[in-house]
Amino acid sequence: MFEECRPFRTVIDEVEKTLLTVDMNIAAEYARPVPDAAARDAVFRMIEAEYERTCARVLEVTDAGELAERFPQHRRRFGRRLQTMNQVSREQVQLLQRLRAGGDDEVRTALLMSIRCAAAGFGATG
């Protein structure tokens, strides 16, 4: 189906490119502030498992050895942005914590700006 159906292939291509942008270590940083450790860990384990299953299925469908190997230009472009994007994500986690702790409009504005920054870096809408 992947080879014969262009719409299906396009969906898989976009999913694959999106999966390349996922860093589960960064995702864990977003989860860390959740106060209920049991709930946090249970939900995060489900997210990790789903991520792994999705990656495995995409690689199976595309017959690839690694994510986005069919898109070397995309890999290079994202690779150049990765360090900056990880820093934006870490700062965003801190801003979220400050906002939850009663942050003011300045914190809210900074958080919204970080969301726009991340969207621009990932090539999405903000």
Residue spans of the domains in the chain: they are 1-70, 71-126
List of the chain residues with pLDDT < 70 = 124-126
* pLDDT computed for residue 64 by the predictor: 95
> Which pLDDT does position 90 carry in this prediction?
94
CA–centroid distance for 55 within its chain: 13
Q: How many CB atoms lie within 10 A of CB 62?
A: 18
Give the closest residue to 86 by CA, choosing from 63, 46, 114.
114
Structure letter (DSSP) for residue 66: S
Count H helices and E strands in the chain, helices first. 5, 0
Axis-axis angle for helices 105-122, 72-100 (nearest 10) = 170
Distance CA 93, CA 32 (A): 9
Per-residue confidence (pLDDT) for residue 126, from 0 to 100: 46
